[in-house]
Amino acid sequence: MTNKITVLLGLQWGDEGKGKVIDILSPQYDFVVRYQGGANAGHSIVFNNKKYVLHLIPSGIFTEHTKCVIGNGTVVDPDALLDEISLLKNEGIKLDGRLFLSEGAHLILPYHKIIDAINESTSEKIGTTKRGIGPAYYSKYARSGIRFYDFRNEDVLYNKIERNLNYLKRIFPYSDELNELEPIIVFRDQIRKFSEYRKFITDTTELLHNALNDKKNILLEGAQGTLLDIDFGTYPYVTSSHPTAGGASIGSGIPPLKINSVIGVVKAYTTRVGEGPFPTELIDDYGKKIAKLGVEFGATTGRPRRCGWLDLVALKYACEINGVTEIVLTKADVLDEFDEIQVCVAYENNSLKFTRFIPYVDFLNNCKPVYKSFKGWKTHINQFKDYNSFPTEFHQFVEFIENFINTKISFISTGASREEMIIRN
Ligand code: IMP
């Protein structure tokens, strides 16, 4: 039997409920790997009747035998990392020999967070999480970023910090916060923090290749969602990494041909945080009702999420980009009370009909959704323990989605807890 190498990712604009799915699937895997993003993610998990939100450390950490890797494709804020380490330790969760951080991952330094805040204070804002993600990836691609490798030579590390800070002070001369940052203070602070987490740093590419050779099962955990991908998302209203399946290989070192399944997570409606196009957005009582029933507030920033109907045009595109092999449908229970439920099956733009998603802002801002209506099932679906017992209206909704995207919905989540998950055979 071949070992399972699975990518699990979001098919919308993030917040699809991936945390719970990873938590449920983790026992089947020896390793769970984060491959992109940083502490901008917010994965909520209910463990021992308590809710936890993890931003950086994979949610697989709650499964005792599972090892967790923060891969080379991520950007890591040492403050966020240390906060999570301390939170998990306080809960009695063992980390030694279970948490591994790639030497090749880039650091988010205080100046990245300052620049994120400066950029977000302008009219060109993206609506970021202000966690320094974009500026850290900017440093990475400008080839001036700092990786955990750099702590091997403190002189080199200091010089890099000094050079980066001097450069940024020249670009943003009016930022008091930036001007007050002294290279030596930043350097000493980072060295001190490094000593607290250095034991977790390793060559994760080697670790994962050994795991592949030992036929271990590996789950690659995507953060954010496909429509926030820097290439395939609604650029520039995107995050600065690749939440898509292609990013899993780049951000972990696992060869593409080793990946044998891609599980896509999709919410029964759509949400988005921050700016950017959203064709099915509901700026009416329906939108408010979804937000209220779905408790749609950002897990990282607490911002209210924009809500709208499920967009099958976008979903089909996301399935194609990622080569999704099966789907987890989440939060369908949020629609339990609705008399009528809509899904978008095409866009109308300048009197033309489009059934293909084009990730171009001007196009999408001009698109009006064409909807198909479904009669609501009007009952609490969390009472059903197998798919056949669900009401006909629910079957019609699920099966229409499957046919439209030509992909099987294998799991249906009917509530927040681990137990509320129906597996369809
Ligand atoms: P950044 O990733 O903080 O640079 O933010 C870029 C965009 O991605 C903004 O619209 C954020 O709201 C969005 N974003 C980043 N992380 C998440 C997430 O985990 N869930 C949903 N949206 C996110």
Domain with residue 171: its CATH number is 1.10.300.10
Q: Both 174 and 97 in a single domain?
A: no
Question: Facing residues of 422 across strands?
Answer: 412
Output the CA torsion sign for 68, 229, 205, 129.
negative
Q: Both 115 and 141 in a single domain?
A: yes
Long-range CB contact pairs, 183-186, < 8 A, 24+: 183/158, 184/158, 186/109, 186/110, 186/111, 186/161
The pLDDT value recorded for residue 425 is 76
Of 196, 212, 243, which residue is a domain's last?
196
The pLDDT value recorded for residue 44 is 76
Pocket test for ligand 1, best of 40, 115, 120, 271 (most atoms within 8 A of CB): 40
Q: Both 11 and 82 in a single domain?
A: yes
Task: Report CA 363 to chain centroid distance, whole Å.
Answer: 25
40 lines ligand 1 (CB under 6 A): yes
Long-range CB contact pairs, 87-91, < 8 A, 24+: 87/52, 88/57, 88/61, 91/52
127 lines ligand 1 (CB under 6 A): yes
36 lines ligand 1 (CB under 6 A): no
41 lines ligand 1 (CB under 6 A): yes
Q: How far apart are CA 103 and CA 70, in angstroms?
A: 10
* CATH code where residue 342 lies: 3.90.170.10
Q: Both 34 and 119 in a single domain?
A: no
Of 161, 177, 196, which residue is a domain's last?
196
Q: Both 43 and 99 in a single domain?
A: yes
Inter-axis angle of helices 392-405 and 312-322, nearest 10: 50
* Ligand 1 atom closest to Cα of residue 228: 8
Q: Both 98 and 215 in a single domain?
A: yes
The pLDDT value recorded for residue 416 is 84
**Token pair of 399, please?**
């099966």
Q: Both 185 and 254 in a single domain?
A: no
* CATH code where residue 204 lies: 3.40.440.10
* Residue 186: strand, helix, or coil: helix
The pLDDT value recorded for residue 341 is 98
Q: Both 288 and 397 in a single domain?
A: yes
The pLDDT value recorded for residue 49 is 81
The pLDDT value recorded for residue 116 is 97
Q: Both 44 and 140 in a single domain?
A: no
Query: 306-311 and 340-349 as β-strands: parallel, antiparallel, unpaired?
Result: parallel
Residues 221, 22: contact at Cβ < 8 Å? yes
Q: How far apart are CA 62 and CA 320, in angstroms?
A: 32
SS3 of 91-135: the string is: CCCCCCCCEEEECCCEECCHHHHHHHHHHHCCCCCCCCCCCCHHH
- The domain of 169 spans 107-196
The pLDDT value recorded for residue 68 is 97
Residue having the nearest C-alpha atom to atom 5 of ligand 1 = 128
Q: Both 219 and 162 in a single domain?
A: no
Domains identified in the chain, total number: 3
- Candidates 393, 385, 388; CA nearest to 335 is 393
245: buried, middle or exposed (CB in 10 Å: 19+, 13-18, 0-12)?
Answer: buried
* Ligand 1 atom closest to Cα of residue 130: 3
DSSP 359: -
Please tell me which residue in 23, 30, 43, 229 is annotated as part of the active site.
43
Q: Both 295 and 312 in a single domain?
A: yes
Tell how far the Cα of 128 is from the centroid of ligand 1, in angstroms.
5
**Token pair of 85, please?**
């380490």
Which residues make Cβ contacts (< 8 Å) with residue 186, sequence separation at least 6? 109, 110, 111, 161, 165
Residue having the nearest C-alpha atom to atom 10 of ligand 1 = 274
Pocket test for ligand 1, best of 226, 273, 296 (most atoms within 8 A of CB): 273
183 lines ligand 1 (CB under 6 A): no
**Token pair of 389, please?**
């017992």
Whether 116 is catalytic: no
- Candidates 202, 250, 196, 183; CA nearest to 222 is 250
Of 154, 171, 196, which residue is a domain's last?
196
> Could you read off the pLDDT tens digit of each residue along the chain, which spans 425 residues?
789 999 999 999 999 999 889 989 999 999 999 999 999 988 877 777 888 889 999 989 999 999 999 999 999 999 999 999 999 999 999 999 999 999 999 999 999 999 999 999 999 999 999 999 999 999 999 999 999 999 999 999 999 999 999 999 999 999 999 999 999 999 999 999 999 999 999 999 999 999 999 999 999 999 999 999 999 999 999 999 999 999 999 999 999 999 999 999 999 999 999 999 999 999 999 999 999 999 998 877 888 999 999 999 999 999 999 999 999 999 999 999 999 999 999 999 999 999 999 999 999 999 999 999 999 999 999 999 999 999 999 999 999 999 999 999 999 999 988 889 999 87
204 lines ligand 1 (CB under 6 A): no
The pLDDT value recorded for residue 51 is 84
Q: Both 358 and 288 in a single domain?
A: yes
334 lines ligand 1 (CB under 6 A): no
Percentage helix, strand, coil, to 5, in the chain? 40, 20, 40
Whether 242 is catalytic: no
Calculate the alpha carbon distances from 207 to 33, 64, 97, 327 in Å. Answer: 11, 19, 12, 29
The pLDDT value recorded for residue 300 is 76
CA angle 162, 121, 242 (to 5 degrees): 70
